[in-house]
């Protein structure tokens, strides 16, 4: 298998603009500090793997503000559309045969080993997911051996149905799961991580 690409989806780390649901529970300053720290540590830790690492950023204009991003590699724009449209853009904008794994920027426990497992899974599967304990997923990856059409259509995002809905769009494809981890979206998940 060709060398893979890891994409970390991120919002520009602007005070008051990140982790707004978490901020309602723990305050804007703590939520901003959590986001910046987790995002920076995640990118620094994972860029040591045997894959290329990129950050897919929003808003798009922030892709040129290199000093705020913890990576000297490449920055991709998320572009317009809902989260599914933006994720699809990140996963499929590479040549056929290049496996791509995409994660969020708010998974404190993610390690190089987790990402390695995902890329190894794509050696025999068309898609891989890292399930979250809330019914969603913290990781999605495509082997990109063949086109996957509308993988995120009609997904009920931010619900316990997100993984099930996405898998329903991948009928006929080989799909595998890797480790379950948790993202941090609210005060309850933040407390569990502490």
Number of H helices and number of E strands within the chain? 6, 7
pLDDT of residue 38: 94
pLDDT, tens digit, for every residue of 21-35? Answer: 999 999 999 999 999
Give me 164's structure tokens.
């099930």
Model confidence at 1: pLDDT above 60: no
pLDDT, tens digit, for every residue of 140-157? Answer: 999 999 889 899 999 999
pLDDT, tens digit, for every residue of 50-61? Answer: 999 999 999 998
CATH architecture observed for domain 5-193? Alpha-Beta Complex (3.90)
Beta bridge partners of 141: 101, 128
d(CA 106, CA 41): 10
The pTM of the whole model exceeds 0.75: yes
Give me 106's structure tokens.
């708010």
Beta bridge partners of 103: 8, 139
Model confidence at 48: pLDDT above 50: yes
pLDDT, tens digit, for every residue of 56-79? Answer: 999 998 888 766 777 656 889 999
Domain boundaries, the chain: 5-193
Extract long-range pairs of 122-125: CB within 8 Å, 24+ residues apart: 122/1, 122/4, 123/1, 124/174, 124/176, 125/174, 125/175, 125/176
Average pLDDT over residues 98-111: 95
């Amino acid at each position: 298998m060709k060398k893979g690409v890891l994409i970390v989806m991120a919002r520009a780390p602007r005070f008051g603009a990140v982790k707004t649901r978490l901020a309602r529970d723990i305050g804007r300053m703590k939520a901003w500090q959590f986001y910046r720290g987790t995002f920076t540590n995640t990118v620094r830790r994972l860029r040591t793997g045997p894959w290329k690492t990129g950050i897919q950023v929003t808003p798009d204009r922030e892709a040129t503000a290199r000093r705020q991003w913890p990576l000297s590699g490449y920055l991709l724009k998320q572009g317009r559309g809902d989260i599914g449209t933006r994720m699809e853009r990140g996963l499929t904008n590479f040549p056929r045969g290049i496996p791509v794994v995409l994660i969020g920027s708010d998974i404190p426990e993610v390690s190089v080993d987790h990402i390695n497992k995902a890329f190894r899974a794509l050696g025999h599967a068309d898609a891989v997911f890292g399930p979250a304990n809330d019914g969603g997923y913290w990781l999605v990856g495509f082997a990109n051996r063949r086109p996957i059409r509308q993988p995120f259509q009609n997904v009920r995002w931010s619900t316990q149905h997100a993984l099930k809905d996405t898998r329903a769009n991948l009928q006929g494809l080989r799909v595998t799961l890797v480790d379950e981890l948790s993202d941090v979206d609210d005060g309850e998940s933040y407390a569990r991580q502490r």
